[in-house]
Amino acid sequence: EIVLTQSPGTLSLSPGERATLSCRASQTISSSYLAWYQQKSGQAPSLLIYGTSTRATGIPDRFSGSGSGTDFTLTISRLEPEDFAVYYCQQYGSSFTFGPGTKVDIK
């Protein structure tokens, strides 16, 4: 099973700042089958990014994904008030596993 580790566990930032979230896999993720989800309090997760770097429908371009192999990054270029949430990475190339999440909260 591919284990995903996310860092940091919590990221405290102010609106307008840049957020950089890391996701590291225990094995190479084939063909960059890596997705990112956003989960706001009391809501279901929603897809942000798939295939490492492709934004899902309706996702603003301040969200970007990058990486390959075992190291992946989600970047939010300028945080908007609605971006404060928990973010999960997920690999779907070898079964399905999720990372433990990074909480982005307001500083």
Residues making contact with another protein (CB under 8 A): 30-31, 33, 35, 37, 43-47, 50-51, 56-57, 88, 90, 92-93, 95-101
Give how far the C-alpha of residue 39 lies from the chain's centroid of Cα atoms, to the nearest Å.
Answer: 10
Question: What's the length of the chain?
Answer: 107
- Tell the smallest beta-carbon distance from residue 70 to another protein (Å): 18
Output 84 or 87, the one with its CB closest to another protein.
87
- Tell the smallest beta-carbon distance from residue 8 to another protein (Å): 15
Burial zone of 37 (CB within 10 Å; 0-12 exposed, 13-18 middle, 19+ buried): buried
- Tell the smallest beta-carbon distance from residue 44 to another protein (Å): 4
47 contacts: CB under 8 Å, gap ≥ 6: 35, 36, 37, 56
